[in-house]
Amino acid sequence: MADETERPRERAVPSGRAARVGQFTRLGLGVVGGMVGEGARRLARGEGLKARDLMLTPGNVAKVTERLSHLRGAAMKLGQMISMDAGDMLPPELAQILARLRDQAHRMPPQQLNTLLKAEWGPDWRKRFKRFEPTPMAAASIGQVHRAILPDGRELAIKIQYPGVAKSIDSDVDNVATLLRVSGLLPKELDIAPLLAAAKEQLAEEADYVREGAQMMAYAERLDGDARYVLPELVEEFTTPNILAMTFVPGVPIEQLADETQELRDRVMAELIELVLRELFEFGVMQTDPNFANYRFQPDSGKLVLLDFGAARPVDPAVVDGYRRILTALGKGDRDGVIDAALDAGFVGQAAVDRHRPMVERMTDVVIEEFGRDGPFDFGDRGFVQVLRDHGMQIAEDRAAWHLPPAETLFVQRKISGTALLAANLKAKVEVRPMVEAALA
């Protein structure tokens, strides 16, 4: 979510289906117009034409970012999901769009907010509070968060869903997919239908705030007795499918730890990595959204604050088994075992291995070498990532080798990749291998 110190912008959320389709239509026409203009300029200079290069111009980057930020909802959420999934593997221009979507969100105008709250809580809703802050302390893709104080002095954080978001999920996802298709960024042969269906299902779950409240309470029970973590408590009397009311838990953004001691950064990231391993191999349930805003830190208590459980979901036992096999083979330094397990789990497609086996083996060797190093893993040293990116981009130039892992695997990998990205931002050094070995045992 956008940090409360940033200057937010007000803009009404298009809530009707026709209004949202119109936004996508204007976006598509604007992008196509930009591609035509850029193509004409390149032809005049005697340059070749590639759809990807025409799509990812600075002008089109700005158009896509602004329009998706205005729409919020599934459109913006999909962009955020892709940016956390792919990390360093995206083309720089596309990464720029998606990184900006992680941080950029408009807030609802006061009149739209008041209309929504009247519909949810009744016309006299203000009388139920001692104070309700009209300016949100955070705004994101699906909703915005306000602080409030009850007559008994309890301080709440209230997440309010943007109007029309839940009803527009299917059409928004389809429209984003169409935009990717016409841009030429995805080959026609790539079947993204299963991923789109899974994205619609997860986004519908995230838009159900009653469900999220139940997931938050269940997660708190799993961590009961572990003093390292703190979660908000659900306030059911104000919670509806479109409003999630919870106790306000103070904390600073997790990114602020970048200025703290190496020891503190290492400890915090070790606790987060341990939590991911427990989700995967112990809980069987994972909070699959690794957005940095979902973590805060309490300097006084030293505790980690965990927020946002809309994306909490069971982990398919087959996915758990796939990770177990891959990590076991990594620990043994078994290159063929890693590749076979990755194939069985759907991480990599058979065509990529058949057509580019030497390059796949080199990438696997890099991962084995990094995993097998003695001492803490230095997340701040990203040299090996560039090697993987270079090889991955070479394989990606062969569109016949493109492959989408199963959606359930992508959701889990999204959390793992996002956690590694946070560790890289904090330049943390963590003894990862012993933690993995303990989790596997």
CB 87 within 8 A of CB 102: no
Buried b (16+ CB within 10 A) or exposed e, 226-240: eeebbbbbbbeebbb
Q: How far is CA 57 from CA 102, 183, 211, in A?
A: 20, 12, 40
> What single-letter amino acid sits at 383?
G
Q: The tokens of 99 are what?
A: 């990184």
Q: How far is CA 120 from CA 73, 113, 137, 186, 233, in A?
A: 19, 11, 20, 41, 21
Active-site residue identified among 53, 289, 316, 340 = 289
267-430-408-387 Cα dihedral, nearest 10 degrees: 140
Instruction: Give the Cα separation of 399 and 290 in Å (integer).
Output: 29
CB 281 within 8 A of CB 327: no
53 is an active site residue: no
CB 105 within 8 A of CB 140: yes
Q: The tokens of 390 are what?
A: 């270079």
> What single-letter amino acid sits at 268?
V
Q: The tokens of 145 are what?
A: 């968060």
Instruction: Give the Cα separation of 182 and 175 in Å (integer).
Output: 11
The catalytic residue positions are 289
